[in-house]
Structure 1
Protein backbone atom coordinates (compact mmCIF):
# COMPACT_ATOMS: atom_id res chain seq x y z
CA UNK A 1 0.00 0.00 0.00
CA UNK A 2 1.37 3.43 -0.84
CA UNK A 3 2.31 5.42 2.22
CA UNK A 4 0.23 8.50 1.41
CA UNK A 5 -3.00 6.63 0.62
CA UNK A 6 -2.62 4.52 3.75
CA UNK A 7 -1.99 7.56 5.89
CA UNK A 8 -5.12 9.24 4.59
CA UNK A 9 -7.37 6.32 5.47
CA UNK A 10 -5.86 6.07 8.93
CA UNK A 11 -6.41 9.80 9.41
CA UNK A 12 -10.01 9.42 8.27
CA UNK A 13 -10.77 6.39 10.44
CA UNK A 14 -9.23 7.91 13.56
CA UNK A 15 -11.03 11.20 12.99
CA UNK A 16 -14.33 9.32 12.91
CA UNK A 17 -13.85 6.67 15.54
CA UNK A 18 -11.88 8.62 18.18
CA UNK A 19 -13.05 12.17 17.63
CA UNK A 20 -16.66 11.93 16.49
CA UNK A 21 -17.64 14.36 13.76
CA UNK A 22 -15.43 17.35 14.50
CA UNK A 23 -12.99 16.47 11.69
CA UNK A 24 -15.70 16.90 9.10
CA UNK A 25 -15.90 20.11 7.08
CA UNK A 26 -18.66 22.32 8.46
CA UNK A 27 -20.65 22.15 5.24
CA UNK A 28 -20.93 18.38 5.67
CA UNK A 29 -22.27 18.46 9.23
CA UNK A 30 -25.92 17.56 9.66
CA UNK A 31 -26.74 18.57 6.06
CA UNK A 32 -29.37 15.86 5.88
CA UNK A 33 -30.66 15.86 9.46
CA UNK A 34 -34.17 17.27 9.28
CA UNK A 35 -36.41 18.00 12.24
CA UNK A 36 -38.19 14.70 11.70
CA UNK A 37 -34.87 12.84 11.81
CA UNK A 38 -33.74 14.28 15.19
CA UNK A 39 -34.53 11.21 17.18
CA UNK A 40 -33.09 10.61 20.59
CA UNK A 41 -30.22 8.59 19.10
CA UNK A 42 -29.41 11.31 16.61
CA UNK A 43 -29.37 13.96 19.33
CA UNK A 44 -26.86 11.89 21.26
CA UNK A 45 -24.63 11.60 18.20
CA UNK A 46 -24.81 15.27 17.27
CA UNK A 47 -24.22 16.31 20.88
CA UNK A 48 -20.68 14.98 20.61
CA UNK A 49 -19.90 17.39 17.78
CA UNK A 50 -18.92 20.35 19.97
CA UNK A 51 -17.07 18.38 22.63
CA UNK A 52 -14.18 16.60 20.97
CA UNK A 53 -10.42 16.95 20.96
CA UNK A 54 -8.06 16.75 18.04
CA UNK A 55 -4.87 14.78 18.72
CA UNK A 56 -3.73 14.59 15.11
CA UNK A 57 -3.75 18.21 13.93
CA UNK A 58 -5.46 21.57 14.36
CA UNK A 59 -9.08 21.40 13.21
CA UNK A 60 -9.52 22.76 9.70
CA UNK A 61 -12.31 23.57 7.31
CA UNK A 62 -10.68 21.37 4.66
CA UNK A 63 -11.56 17.69 4.36
CA UNK A 64 -7.96 16.93 3.35
CA UNK A 65 -5.30 16.60 6.10
CA UNK A 66 -1.95 18.35 5.75
CA UNK A 67 1.13 16.43 4.61
CA UNK A 68 2.67 17.02 8.03
CA UNK A 69 -0.32 15.28 9.65
CA UNK A 70 -0.13 12.40 7.19
CA UNK A 71 3.56 11.85 7.87
CA UNK A 72 3.00 11.94 11.63
CA UNK A 73 0.12 9.48 11.40
CA UNK A 74 2.13 7.07 9.29
CA UNK A 75 4.97 7.03 11.81
CA UNK A 76 2.84 6.44 14.92
CA UNK A 77 -0.07 4.24 13.84
CA UNK A 78 0.47 0.70 12.52
CA UNK A 79 -1.62 -0.80 9.75
CA UNK A 80 -4.33 -3.25 10.77
CA UNK A 81 -2.76 -6.67 10.20
CA UNK A 82 -4.19 -9.01 7.60
CA UNK A 83 -6.57 -11.44 9.25
CA UNK A 84 -8.25 -14.73 8.51
CA UNK A 85 -11.43 -15.65 10.30
CA UNK A 86 -12.02 -19.35 9.81
CA UNK A 87 -13.61 -19.63 13.26
CA UNK A 88 -16.45 -17.21 12.47
CA UNK A 89 -19.81 -18.99 12.22
CA UNK A 90 -22.42 -16.34 11.48
CA UNK A 91 -25.07 -15.20 9.02
CA UNK A 92 -23.72 -12.10 7.24
CA UNK A 93 -26.04 -9.83 5.23
CA UNK A 94 -24.39 -7.20 3.03
CA UNK A 95 -26.41 -4.18 1.86
CA UNK A 96 -24.58 -2.68 -1.12
CA UNK A 97 -25.19 0.78 -2.57
CA UNK A 98 -25.62 0.86 -6.38
CA UNK A 99 -26.24 4.60 -6.77
CA UNK A 100 -25.19 6.64 -9.80
CA UNK A 101 -22.46 8.49 -7.92
CA UNK A 102 -20.47 5.26 -7.67
CA UNK A 103 -20.01 4.37 -11.34
CA UNK A 104 -19.38 0.90 -12.73
CA UNK A 105 -15.64 0.81 -11.98
CA UNK A 106 -16.05 1.79 -8.35
CA UNK A 107 -19.06 -0.50 -7.93
CA UNK A 108 -16.64 -3.29 -8.84
CA UNK A 109 -14.46 -2.05 -5.98
CA UNK A 110 -17.41 -2.62 -3.62
CA UNK A 111 -17.84 -6.12 -5.07
CA UNK A 112 -14.14 -6.81 -4.49
CA UNK A 113 -14.51 -5.49 -0.94
CA UNK A 114 -17.27 -8.02 -0.18
CA UNK A 115 -15.40 -10.80 -1.98
CA UNK A 116 -12.27 -10.18 0.05
CA UNK A 117 -14.23 -10.47 3.30
CA UNK A 118 -15.86 -13.70 2.12
CA UNK A 119 -12.40 -14.99 1.22
CA UNK A 120 -11.31 -14.68 4.84
CA UNK A 121 -14.12 -16.79 6.34
CA UNK A 122 -15.29 -20.39 6.05
CA UNK A 123 -18.56 -20.86 4.14
CA UNK A 124 -20.91 -23.74 4.86
CA UNK A 125 -24.09 -24.80 6.65
CA UNK A 126 -22.15 -25.29 9.88
CA UNK A 127 -19.95 -22.25 9.29
CA UNK A 128 -20.76 -18.80 7.89
CA UNK A 129 -23.36 -17.94 5.25
CA UNK A 130 -23.90 -14.73 3.27
CA UNK A 131 -26.93 -12.89 1.89
CA UNK A 132 -26.91 -9.84 -0.41
CA UNK A 133 -29.24 -6.83 -0.65
CA UNK A 134 -28.62 -4.24 -3.38
CA UNK A 135 -30.22 -0.81 -3.11
CA UNK A 136 -30.77 2.11 -5.47
CA UNK A 137 -34.25 3.61 -6.01
CA UNK A 138 -35.51 0.59 -4.04
CA UNK A 139 -33.93 -2.45 -2.38
CA UNK A 140 -33.71 -5.98 -3.75
CA UNK A 141 -32.83 -9.24 -2.02
CA UNK A 142 -30.55 -10.91 -4.56
CA UNK A 143 -30.02 -14.03 -2.53
CA UNK A 144 -30.53 -15.08 1.07
CA UNK A 145 -28.01 -16.67 3.37
CA UNK A 146 -28.99 -20.24 2.45
CA UNK A 147 -28.76 -19.84 -1.33
CA UNK A 148 -25.03 -20.57 -1.60
CA UNK A 149 -23.40 -22.93 0.87
CA UNK A 150 -19.91 -23.19 -0.64
CA UNK A 151 -17.39 -20.43 -1.20
CA UNK A 152 -16.81 -21.00 -4.93
CA UNK A 153 -20.43 -20.55 -6.00
CA UNK A 154 -20.94 -17.74 -3.49
CA UNK A 155 -18.01 -15.73 -4.86
CA UNK A 156 -19.24 -16.32 -8.42
CA UNK A 157 -22.67 -14.97 -7.44
CA UNK A 158 -21.13 -11.91 -5.78
CA UNK A 159 -19.01 -11.18 -8.86
CA UNK A 160 -22.11 -11.27 -11.07
CA UNK A 161 -24.10 -8.67 -9.08
CA UNK A 162 -25.75 -5.97 -11.19
CA UNK A 163 -25.01 -2.25 -10.96
CA UNK A 164 -28.25 -0.21 -11.02
CA UNK A 165 -26.92 3.37 -11.44
CA UNK A 166 -29.85 4.83 -9.47
CA UNK A 167 -30.44 6.85 -6.29
CA UNK A 168 -29.57 6.06 -2.67
CA UNK A 169 -32.56 4.67 -0.82
CA UNK A 170 -30.81 3.52 2.33
CA UNK A 171 -34.10 3.33 4.24
CA UNK A 172 -35.40 0.74 1.74
CA UNK A 173 -32.32 -1.44 2.30
CA UNK A 174 -32.75 -1.33 6.08
CA UNK A 175 -36.49 -1.97 5.79
CA UNK A 176 -35.92 -5.00 3.57
CA UNK A 177 -33.23 -6.27 5.94
CA UNK A 178 -35.64 -6.17 8.86
CA UNK A 179 -38.68 -7.49 6.96
CA UNK A 180 -36.81 -10.43 5.41
CA UNK A 181 -35.31 -11.32 8.78
CA UNK A 182 -38.70 -11.27 10.47
CA UNK A 183 -40.68 -13.17 7.82
CA UNK A 184 -37.98 -15.78 7.20
CA UNK A 185 -37.13 -14.92 3.59
CA UNK A 186 -33.56 -14.08 4.56
CA UNK A 187 -33.13 -17.65 5.81
CA UNK A 188 -31.34 -16.69 9.01
CA UNK A 189 -30.30 -19.68 11.11
CA UNK A 190 -31.23 -19.99 14.76
CA UNK A 191 -28.25 -20.43 17.02
CA UNK A 192 -25.92 -18.37 14.82
CA UNK A 193 -25.12 -14.67 15.27
CA UNK A 194 -26.65 -12.44 12.61
CA UNK A 195 -24.51 -9.54 11.36
CA UNK A 196 -25.54 -6.83 8.88
CA UNK A 197 -23.07 -4.68 6.91
CA UNK A 198 -24.12 -1.63 4.91
CA UNK A 199 -21.68 -0.26 2.29
CA UNK A 200 -22.30 3.15 0.69
CA UNK A 201 -20.50 6.02 -1.01
CA UNK A 202 -23.00 8.72 -0.11
CA UNK A 203 -25.85 9.99 2.00
CA UNK A 204 -29.48 8.97 1.55
CA UNK A 205 -31.28 10.72 -1.32
CA UNK A 206 -34.64 8.87 -1.20
CA UNK A 207 -36.92 8.54 1.85
CA UNK A 208 -34.34 10.51 3.80
CA UNK A 209 -36.61 11.04 6.79
CA UNK A 210 -37.05 7.26 7.14
CA UNK A 211 -33.39 6.26 7.22
CA UNK A 212 -32.67 6.74 10.91
CA UNK A 213 -36.06 5.58 12.25
CA UNK A 214 -35.75 2.40 10.16
CA UNK A 215 -32.23 1.82 11.49
CA UNK A 216 -33.57 2.21 15.02
CA UNK A 217 -36.24 -0.41 14.25
CA UNK A 218 -33.51 -2.81 13.12
CA UNK A 219 -31.63 -2.22 16.36
CA UNK A 220 -34.76 -2.59 18.50
CA UNK A 221 -35.60 -5.95 16.91
CA UNK A 222 -32.47 -7.50 18.46
CA UNK A 223 -32.26 -9.84 15.47
CA UNK A 224 -28.80 -8.65 14.47
CA UNK A 225 -25.94 -8.95 16.91
CA UNK A 226 -24.07 -6.19 15.08
CA UNK A 227 -24.85 -3.71 12.33
CA UNK A 228 -21.85 -2.16 10.59
CA UNK A 229 -21.98 0.92 8.37
CA UNK A 230 -19.07 1.41 5.97
CA UNK A 231 -18.94 4.71 4.10
CA UNK A 232 -16.57 6.42 1.69
CA UNK A 233 -16.52 9.63 -0.33
CA UNK A 234 -19.73 11.62 0.35
CA UNK A 235 -21.20 9.34 3.02
CA UNK A 236 -22.64 11.25 5.97
CA UNK A 237 -20.92 10.29 9.21
CA UNK A 238 -23.91 11.17 11.41
CA UNK A 239 -26.09 8.91 9.29
CA UNK A 240 -23.50 6.10 9.37
CA UNK A 241 -23.25 6.26 13.15
CA UNK A 242 -27.04 6.14 13.48
CA UNK A 243 -27.26 3.13 11.13
CA UNK A 244 -24.55 1.20 12.99
CA UNK A 245 -25.67 -0.66 16.10
CA UNK A 246 -22.85 1.14 17.92
CA UNK A 247 -21.07 4.31 16.71
CA UNK A 248 -17.75 2.45 16.86
CA UNK A 249 -19.04 0.15 14.10
CA UNK A 250 -19.24 3.04 11.62
CA UNK A 251 -16.14 2.98 9.39
CA UNK A 252 -15.50 5.93 7.10
CA UNK A 253 -13.00 7.52 4.74
CA UNK A 254 -13.19 10.62 2.53
CA UNK A 255 -11.36 8.79 -0.25
CA UNK A 256 -12.79 6.18 -2.63
CA UNK A 257 -9.72 4.30 -3.86
CA UNK A 258 -8.49 0.72 -3.71
CA UNK A 259 -5.99 1.25 -0.90
CA UNK A 260 -8.63 2.90 1.28
CA UNK A 261 -11.18 0.14 0.73
CA UNK A 262 -8.52 -2.47 1.44
CA UNK A 263 -7.79 -0.88 4.80
CA UNK A 264 -11.50 -0.59 5.63
CA UNK A 265 -11.95 -4.24 4.65
CA UNK A 266 -9.12 -5.30 6.95
CA UNK A 267 -10.58 -3.25 9.81
CA UNK A 268 -14.01 -4.78 9.26
CA UNK A 269 -12.57 -8.30 9.01
CA UNK A 270 -10.66 -7.73 12.25
CA UNK A 271 -13.89 -6.68 14.01
CA UNK A 272 -15.79 -9.65 12.62
CA UNK A 273 -13.09 -12.05 13.79
CA UNK A 274 -13.11 -10.48 17.24
CA UNK A 275 -16.90 -10.95 17.42
CA UNK A 276 -16.47 -14.69 16.92
CA UNK A 277 -14.30 -15.15 19.99
Structure 2
Protein backbone atom coordinates (compact mmCIF):
# COMPACT_ATOMS: atom_id res chain seq x y z
CA UNK A 1 0.00 0.00 0.00
CA UNK A 2 2.86 2.39 0.85
CA UNK A 3 4.50 1.72 -2.52
CA UNK A 4 1.21 2.28 -4.35
CA UNK A 5 0.72 5.57 -2.52
CA UNK A 6 4.25 6.64 -3.41
CA UNK A 7 3.64 5.85 -7.06
CA UNK A 8 0.49 7.94 -7.12
CA UNK A 9 1.94 10.87 -5.17
CA UNK A 10 5.33 11.08 -6.89
CA UNK A 11 5.95 14.21 -8.93
CA UNK A 12 6.24 12.97 -12.53
CA UNK A 13 9.05 13.94 -14.87
CA UNK A 14 8.87 14.57 -18.59
CA UNK A 15 8.65 11.19 -20.22
CA UNK A 16 7.29 8.91 -22.95
CA UNK A 17 6.10 5.34 -23.39
CA UNK A 18 7.28 3.20 -26.32
CA UNK A 19 6.07 -0.25 -27.37
CA UNK A 20 6.18 -2.51 -30.44
CA UNK A 21 5.36 -5.98 -31.73
CA UNK A 22 6.62 -7.99 -34.70
CA UNK A 23 6.04 -11.37 -36.32
CA UNK A 24 3.24 -13.90 -36.09
CA UNK A 25 1.57 -12.14 -33.17
CA UNK A 26 0.68 -9.23 -35.47
CA UNK A 27 -2.39 -9.59 -37.69
CA UNK A 28 -1.18 -10.30 -41.22
CA UNK A 29 2.45 -10.33 -40.08
CA UNK A 30 4.72 -7.32 -40.13
CA UNK A 31 5.09 -4.99 -37.16
CA UNK A 32 3.36 -2.38 -35.03
CA UNK A 33 5.15 0.44 -33.22
CA UNK A 34 3.82 3.13 -30.90
CA UNK A 35 4.83 6.14 -28.86
CA UNK A 36 2.86 8.24 -26.40
CA UNK A 37 4.64 11.57 -26.07
CA UNK A 38 4.50 13.03 -22.56
CA UNK A 39 5.74 16.49 -21.66
CA UNK A 40 4.66 19.73 -20.03
CA UNK A 41 1.85 21.62 -21.82
CA UNK A 42 4.16 24.36 -23.14
CA UNK A 43 5.54 22.03 -25.85
CA UNK A 44 3.11 21.74 -28.80
CA UNK A 45 3.28 18.97 -31.37
CA UNK A 46 2.67 18.73 -35.10
CA UNK A 47 3.12 16.29 -37.98
CA UNK A 48 5.52 17.24 -40.75
CA UNK A 49 6.60 15.72 -44.05
CA UNK A 50 10.37 16.13 -44.46
CA UNK A 51 12.23 15.51 -47.71
CA UNK A 52 15.97 16.00 -47.09
CA UNK A 53 18.39 16.49 -49.95
CA UNK A 54 20.00 13.19 -50.86
CA UNK A 55 18.03 11.21 -48.30
CA UNK A 56 14.79 9.37 -47.65
CA UNK A 57 11.63 11.36 -47.04
CA UNK A 58 9.95 10.84 -43.69
CA UNK A 59 6.86 11.73 -41.71
CA UNK A 60 7.79 13.14 -38.30
CA UNK A 61 6.06 13.93 -35.06
CA UNK A 62 7.68 17.24 -34.17
CA UNK A 63 7.75 18.94 -30.77
CA UNK A 64 8.21 22.65 -30.22
CA UNK A 65 10.48 24.05 -27.53
CA UNK A 66 12.88 26.84 -26.64
CA UNK A 67 15.35 25.65 -29.29
CA UNK A 68 12.76 25.23 -32.05
CA UNK A 69 11.13 22.10 -33.44
CA UNK A 70 12.66 18.66 -32.95
CA UNK A 71 11.84 15.15 -34.17
CA UNK A 72 10.31 12.93 -31.48
CA UNK A 73 9.07 10.09 -33.71
CA UNK A 74 8.97 9.29 -37.40
CA UNK A 75 8.63 6.77 -40.19
CA UNK A 76 10.42 7.04 -43.53
CA UNK A 77 9.41 6.05 -47.05
CA UNK A 78 11.27 2.74 -46.70
CA UNK A 79 9.23 1.86 -43.60
CA UNK A 80 11.89 2.40 -40.94
CA UNK A 81 10.27 3.78 -37.79
CA UNK A 82 12.26 5.67 -35.14
CA UNK A 83 10.75 6.55 -31.75
CA UNK A 84 12.67 8.21 -28.91
CA UNK A 85 12.28 8.73 -25.16
CA UNK A 86 14.16 10.72 -22.55
CA UNK A 87 16.29 9.17 -19.79
CA UNK A 88 14.45 10.84 -16.92
CA UNK A 89 15.79 8.33 -14.37
CA UNK A 90 18.98 10.41 -14.60
CA UNK A 91 19.37 13.74 -12.79
CA UNK A 92 18.86 16.63 -15.21
CA UNK A 93 22.52 17.63 -14.99
CA UNK A 94 23.53 14.23 -16.41
CA UNK A 95 21.16 14.20 -19.40
CA UNK A 96 23.23 16.49 -21.60
CA UNK A 97 25.55 15.50 -24.41
CA UNK A 98 25.61 15.38 -28.20
CA UNK A 99 22.17 15.62 -29.84
CA UNK A 100 20.16 12.62 -30.91
CA UNK A 101 20.22 11.12 -34.38
CA UNK A 102 16.55 10.58 -35.24
CA UNK A 103 16.83 12.76 -38.36
CA UNK A 104 19.98 10.92 -39.46
CA UNK A 105 18.37 7.52 -38.99
CA UNK A 106 15.16 8.45 -40.78
CA UNK A 107 16.86 10.08 -43.75
CA UNK A 108 19.69 7.59 -44.16
CA UNK A 109 18.53 4.05 -43.34
CA UNK A 110 15.93 1.69 -44.81
CA UNK A 111 15.80 -1.03 -42.14
CA UNK A 112 16.51 -1.83 -38.52
CA UNK A 113 19.30 -4.21 -39.48
CA UNK A 114 21.00 -1.52 -41.55
CA UNK A 115 21.06 0.67 -38.45
CA UNK A 116 22.34 -2.13 -36.21
CA UNK A 117 25.10 -2.90 -38.70
CA UNK A 118 26.41 0.58 -37.92
CA UNK A 119 25.67 0.62 -34.20
CA UNK A 120 28.86 2.59 -33.58
CA UNK A 121 26.69 5.62 -34.37
CA UNK A 122 25.14 5.40 -30.92
CA UNK A 123 28.47 5.54 -29.09
CA UNK A 124 29.11 8.94 -27.54
CA UNK A 125 25.55 10.28 -27.83
CA UNK A 126 23.75 11.89 -24.93
CA UNK A 127 21.53 9.69 -22.73
CA UNK A 128 18.25 8.64 -24.35
CA UNK A 129 16.31 5.63 -25.60
CA UNK A 130 15.29 4.64 -29.13
CA UNK A 131 12.77 2.12 -30.38
CA UNK A 132 13.38 1.09 -34.01
CA UNK A 133 10.98 -0.89 -36.19
CA UNK A 134 10.46 -2.12 -39.72
CA UNK A 135 8.16 -4.83 -41.06
CA UNK A 136 10.50 -7.65 -39.99
CA UNK A 137 12.45 -6.48 -36.94
CA UNK A 138 12.19 -4.29 -33.85
CA UNK A 139 14.95 -3.06 -31.55
CA UNK A 140 15.50 -1.03 -28.38
CA UNK A 141 18.61 1.10 -27.93
CA UNK A 142 19.60 2.36 -24.48
CA UNK A 143 22.30 5.05 -24.36
CA UNK A 144 23.88 5.87 -21.00
CA UNK A 145 26.02 8.82 -19.88
CA UNK A 146 29.39 8.60 -21.55
CA UNK A 147 27.82 7.12 -24.67
CA UNK A 148 27.62 3.45 -23.68
CA UNK A 149 24.93 1.75 -25.76
CA UNK A 150 23.03 -1.49 -25.24
CA UNK A 151 20.76 -2.96 -27.92
CA UNK A 152 17.98 -5.54 -27.73
CA UNK A 153 16.42 -6.71 -31.00
CA UNK A 154 13.73 -9.19 -32.01
CA UNK A 155 12.11 -10.61 -35.14
CA UNK A 156 9.35 -12.22 -33.10
CA UNK A 157 7.60 -10.85 -30.03
CA UNK A 158 7.17 -7.54 -28.25
CA UNK A 159 9.34 -4.82 -26.72
CA UNK A 160 8.43 -1.88 -24.49
CA UNK A 161 10.34 0.92 -22.82
CA UNK A 162 9.66 3.96 -20.68
CA UNK A 163 12.31 6.24 -19.15
CA UNK A 164 14.63 4.16 -16.97
CA UNK A 165 17.46 1.80 -17.92
CA UNK A 166 16.48 -1.85 -18.22
CA UNK A 167 19.82 -3.42 -19.20
CA UNK A 168 21.33 -4.89 -16.01
CA UNK A 169 24.76 -3.36 -16.59
CA UNK A 170 23.22 0.11 -17.06
CA UNK A 171 20.82 -0.07 -14.10
CA UNK A 172 23.29 1.85 -11.94
CA UNK A 173 22.45 4.95 -13.96
CA UNK A 174 18.89 4.92 -12.58
CA UNK A 175 19.76 7.57 -10.01
CA UNK A 176 16.28 9.06 -9.59
CA UNK A 177 13.29 7.03 -8.38
CA UNK A 178 11.45 7.49 -11.73
CA UNK A 179 8.35 6.02 -10.13
CA UNK A 180 6.08 6.91 -13.04
CA UNK A 181 8.51 5.27 -15.47
CA UNK A 182 8.47 2.01 -13.51
CA UNK A 183 4.69 2.16 -13.13
CA UNK A 184 4.14 2.78 -16.86
CA UNK A 185 6.58 0.00 -17.77
CA UNK A 186 4.53 -2.42 -15.68
CA UNK A 187 1.31 -1.02 -17.15
CA UNK A 188 2.33 -1.32 -20.80
CA UNK A 189 3.67 -4.85 -20.26
CA UNK A 190 0.42 -5.89 -18.57
CA UNK A 191 -1.70 -4.33 -21.30
CA UNK A 192 0.34 -6.04 -24.03
CA UNK A 193 0.07 -9.39 -22.25
CA UNK A 194 -3.72 -9.03 -21.98
CA UNK A 195 -4.28 -7.59 -25.46
CA UNK A 196 -6.44 -9.42 -27.99
CA UNK A 197 -4.47 -11.57 -30.43
CA UNK A 198 -3.45 -11.22 -33.15
CA UNK A 199 -2.43 -7.62 -32.47
CA UNK A 200 -3.85 -4.91 -34.71
CA UNK A 201 -3.40 -1.18 -35.11
CA UNK A 202 -6.84 -0.78 -33.54
CA UNK A 203 -5.69 -2.70 -30.46
CA UNK A 204 -2.59 -0.50 -30.20
CA UNK A 205 -4.89 2.53 -30.44
CA UNK A 206 -6.90 1.18 -27.53
CA UNK A 207 -3.73 0.65 -25.48
CA UNK A 208 -2.51 4.16 -26.27
CA UNK A 209 -5.69 5.60 -24.71
CA UNK A 210 -5.23 3.70 -21.43
CA UNK A 211 -6.18 5.71 -18.34
CA UNK A 212 -6.43 2.76 -15.95
CA UNK A 213 -3.45 3.60 -13.72
CA UNK A 214 -4.32 7.17 -12.81
CA UNK A 215 -3.30 10.61 -14.12
CA UNK A 216 0.48 10.10 -13.94
CA UNK A 217 1.03 6.36 -14.43
CA UNK A 218 -1.29 5.44 -17.31
CA UNK A 219 -0.18 5.25 -20.93
CA UNK A 220 -2.38 8.28 -21.69
CA UNK A 221 -1.47 10.63 -18.85
CA UNK A 222 -3.87 13.43 -17.98
CA UNK A 223 -1.50 14.82 -15.35
CA UNK A 224 -2.14 15.55 -11.69
CA UNK A 225 -0.97 19.19 -11.83
CA UNK A 226 -2.14 22.00 -14.17
CA UNK A 227 1.35 22.60 -15.59
CA UNK A 228 2.64 19.09 -15.03
CA UNK A 229 3.56 16.36 -17.45
CA UNK A 230 0.75 14.85 -19.49
CA UNK A 231 0.35 13.03 -22.82
CA UNK A 232 0.44 15.49 -25.70
CA UNK A 233 0.50 13.08 -28.65
CA UNK A 234 0.30 9.48 -29.81
CA UNK A 235 2.18 8.22 -32.87
CA UNK A 236 1.31 4.68 -33.98
CA UNK A 237 2.57 2.90 -37.09
CA UNK A 238 1.41 -0.26 -38.84
CA UNK A 239 4.21 -1.78 -40.94
CA UNK A 240 2.79 -4.56 -43.15
CA UNK A 241 4.92 -7.11 -44.98
CA UNK A 242 3.40 -5.87 -48.24
CA UNK A 243 1.55 -2.69 -49.03
CA UNK A 244 1.74 0.80 -47.61
CA UNK A 245 2.38 1.55 -43.93
CA UNK A 246 -0.35 3.29 -41.98
CA UNK A 247 -0.01 5.96 -39.29
CA UNK A 248 -2.51 6.82 -36.59
CA UNK A 249 -1.69 9.99 -34.68
CA UNK A 250 -3.36 11.99 -31.94
CA UNK A 251 -2.37 15.61 -31.25
CA UNK A 252 -3.58 16.95 -27.90
CA UNK A 253 -2.09 20.44 -27.87
CA UNK A 254 -3.40 22.42 -24.87
CA UNK A 255 -5.93 25.08 -25.83
CA UNK A 256 -6.73 23.37 -29.14
CA UNK A 257 -9.27 20.70 -30.10
CA UNK A 258 -7.79 17.22 -29.99
CA UNK A 259 -6.96 15.96 -33.48
CA UNK A 260 -7.01 12.32 -34.60
CA UNK A 261 -5.26 11.71 -37.89
CA UNK A 262 -5.02 8.60 -40.08
CA UNK A 263 -2.49 8.57 -42.91
CA UNK A 264 -1.78 5.90 -45.52
CA UNK A 265 1.87 6.25 -46.50
CA UNK A 266 1.44 5.48 -50.19
CA UNK A 267 3.23 7.05 -53.14
CA UNK A 268 0.73 9.90 -53.32
CA UNK A 269 1.56 10.87 -49.75
CA UNK A 270 5.33 10.81 -50.30
CA UNK A 271 5.00 12.98 -53.39
CA UNK A 272 2.97 15.57 -51.52
CA UNK A 273 4.12 19.00 -50.32
CA UNK A 274 6.70 19.12 -47.54
CA UNK A 275 6.29 20.96 -44.27
CA UNK A 276 3.71 20.79 -41.49
CA UNK A 277 0.59 18.83 -42.34
CA UNK A 278 -2.67 20.83 -42.27
TM-score (ref. length: structure 1): 0.29
Kindly indicate which of the two structures has a greater share of residues assigned to strand. Answer: 2
Which of the pair is proportionally richer in helix?
1
Q: What TM-score, normalized to structure 2?
A: 0.29
